[in-house]
Amino acid sequence: MLTLKKITKIFNQGTQDEKRALDNFSLEVAKSDFITIIGSNGAGKTTLLNAIAGTIAPDDGQLIVHGQDVTRWPDFKMARYISRVFQSPTMGTAGEMTIEENLCMAELRGKKRGLKWGVTGNRRTRYKEILKVLDLGLEDRLKQSVGMLSGGQRQSLTLLMTTLALPRVLLLDEHTAALDPRTAAKVMDLTDSMVRENKLTTLMVTHNMNQALKYGNRMVMLHQGKVQLDIQGEEKKKMTVAEIIAEFGQTLKDETLLSA
C-alpha cells in the first residue's frame, strides 16, 4: 500500500546544526496495517509523517503509494490518498466555519471543487446521521462554528471528517496528546473503532508507550532517523513497556516517553 524507499531528509545541510531527520529510511506498509510509531524527541517521527503527507520534500529516496511514485507530490496533491489528524485540535478544522461546512470540505478531500452549492440538503441529512455516531450531540449543532467546540469534541469531529472520504493511508500525529487523559482515552477508542471498521491503513505517532502497545498490529521504533525496532503480530502482543525500557532505555532518554 505504502512504500518508503531509502528516504533521507537532512535539515540545515552543510551547517553546524546539520540534522539527519530521516537517514536512508525504508518501510513497507501493508494494506490495513495499523502501525504505531514511537521514538524519543528528534528521532524523526514527525519528519516521517511530513514526508509521507508531502509537507516536506525528501532529499533522497522514493515514496510509493499503491504502485504510484508520489515522491515529489505537494501536500495538497497527496490529499487524494492521505488523510492526517494533527496533534492540536485546532489544526484539523476551520474554527470560524460551521460544523457542516467543515464536514463538507472534508468530504471533498482530494476531489475537484467547483461552483456547486457546498452544504446541500442531502449532505446535511447525511451529516446529521453520521454525527450521531459520536454521541456528542453535534448533530443538533450543524450550523455552529467549530471554534465553539471543546478540544475533545473538535478532535472527534476531525476523526469523523477523515472517514467521510476514506483515505488510502491515515496519519495520526500524536492526535490525543493535547487532550486531558479521559478525553484522550475516548478519542483513542473512537480512533480504534474507526480504523477497524473501515480497515484503514494507519500510521500513528505517539508518545505514550502503553498506547503504542495496546493499539495496532505493528509497532515501529525510530532512533536517529532509522528503524530501530519493528515488531508485529504475536511478538508485539507479548511485548511489555518494561521490556522495551530494559532493552532500549539507553536510547529512549525521553522523559515524556518513559513516564507514559
Partner 1 sequence: MLYIIPISLEQGLAYALVALGIALTFRILAFPDLTVDGSFPLGGAVAARLIFDGVDPVTSTVIAMAAGFIAGCLTGIFATKFKINSLLAGILMMTILYSVNLRIMGRANIPLLNRATLFTTIENWDMSRDIPVIIFFLVVAALCKLLIDVFLHTEYGLALRATGDNEQMIRSLGVNTDTATIFGLGLSNTMVALAGALIAQDQGFSDVGMGIGMIVAGLASIIIGEALFKPTTVVRLTFAAVLGSVVYRFIISLGMRLGLAPTDLKMATGLMVVIALAIPAIRGKREKKLKLRGV
Q: Which cell numbers in the block locate residue 146? A: 467549530
Q: What is the DSSP-derived secondary structure letter of residue 1? A: -
* Binding residues for partner 1 restricted to 48-87, rule: CB under 8 A: 53, 74-77, 79-80, 83-84, 86
Stretch that binds partner 1, among 41-49, 89-97, 222-230, 241-249 (CB under 8 A): 89-97
What cell was used for 163?
472517514
Q: In Å, how far from its chain's centre is CA 163?
A: 13
Residue 143 makes CB contacts below 8 A (sequence gap 6+) with: 98, 99, 100
Helix (H) or strand (E) holding 198: helix 181-198
Minimum CB separation of residue 5 from partner 1 in Å reads 24
Binding segment for partner 1 (CB under 8 A), chosen from 41-49, 108-116, 212-220, 225-233, is: 108-116
Residue placing its CB nearer to partner 1 in the complex, 74 or 137: 74
35 vs 146, beta carbon nearer partner 1: 146
Task: Identify which of residues 113 and 182 has a Cβ nearer to partner 1 in the complex.
Answer: 113
CA distances (Å), origin 205, targets 79, 82, 103, 162, 172? 19, 15, 24, 17, 6
Q: Which amino acid is at 5?
A: K
Nearer to partner 1, 161 or 209 (CB): 161
Residues 110-149 that bind partner 1 (CB under 8 A): 110-111, 113-119
Based on the shown chain and the rule CB under 8 A, indicate whether residue 95 belongs to the binding site for partner 1.
yes
Which of 44, 58, 92, 152: binder of partner 1 (CB under 8 A)? 92
96 scored as a contact of partner 1 (CB under 8 A): yes
Identify the CA nearest to 224 among candidates 36, 82, 33, 45: 45
Give me the least distance between CB of 252 and partner 1, in Å please: 30
For residues 30 and 220, give the distance between their C-alpha atoms in angstroms, rounded to a whole number: 14
Least spacing, CB of residue 154 vs partner 1, in Å = 11
Give the helix/strand (H/E) hosting 230.
strand 226-232
Cross-strand partners of 2 = 29, 65
46 binds partner 1 (CB under 8 A): no
Residues near partner 1 (CB under 8 A) are: 53, 74-77, 79-80, 83-84, 86, 90-97, 101, 104-106, 108-111, 113-119
